[in-house]
Amino acid sequence: MTTSYTPRPRSSRLSSALNWSIGLLCAHGAIGLIFGALVLASPARATAVLTPFVGYVIAFWLLATGASELAVVLRLHRDLPGWGWDTFFAVATIIAGVILLFVPVGTGFFAAMLVLWCIALSVVFRAVTLLRTSQGWGVGIGIIYVIFAVLMIWLIVSNPAESVTALVWTAGIWGIVCGVTSLVLAWQIQRTRRSIGAAFGVQR
């Protein structure tokens, strides 16, 4: 007795991947907005509370961001333009998170500066990815990332003595930026489902 294997249609795989990616982006965006809002609502208190372990908070945030980005890329790489850059950004973010787990901000000035530079470079990588591979909303988000990266680098260079305070502000703003961009990307994917369905037979 033989059994035949029927491969899963590409349209079904793509539809499943899109649904999964939209849910992941929405969850990522909501967490980012909540985290950023809580930090920016009371930055002084956040600085006092987060200083002993802010390195771990940012490290886990980078790990979660990198892992979610990598998961989306691996599921959609066949239909995702510029997926190589996205993969590079995700892996670099994960590596930065791993490094920060072993060099927490509470150990001093150097660690705080390391966190700020890691975040700034990750923003630059993400901006390059969006500007090279996106159109419309993606280009606009890429420009926002570039502006944010420039402001971060200026903050690091101009006022390094306030590195921990700057890090808390950066973490809050970065959470808001990541939250908004994740929700916008999820909305874009949802909005283009009909055109994708017309091309690949994906059902809503």
Q: What is the pLDDT of residue 143?
A: 75
33 pLDDT more than 80: yes
186/180 Cα distance (integer angstroms): 10
pLDDT at residue 46 tops 50: yes
Query: In the chain, where are the structural domains located?
Result: 19-196
Instruction: Locate 81 and state its tokens.
Output: 């333009």
pLDDT top residue among 157 and 49: 157
Does the pTM surpass 0.85? The reply is no
Listed in sequence order, the residues at least 6 apart from 154 whose beta carbon sits closer than 8 Å to its beta carbon are: none
Give the separation between CA 161 and CA 64, rounded to whole angstroms: 29
User: In the structure, what pLDDT confidence band is assigned to residue 199 with cuts at 50, 70 and 90?
Assistant: low
Residue 25 and residue 189 in contact, taking contact as beta carbons nearer than 8 Å: yes
Q: Indicate the residue type of 121.
A: L
Residue-wise pLDDT tens digits, 147-192? 777 777 776 677 665 666 666 777 777 778 778 777 877 777 777 6
Q: How do residues 61-120 score in pLDDT, each as one tens digit?
A: 778 777 877 777 776 656 555 566 667 777 877 887 787 777 655 555 566 666 666 666
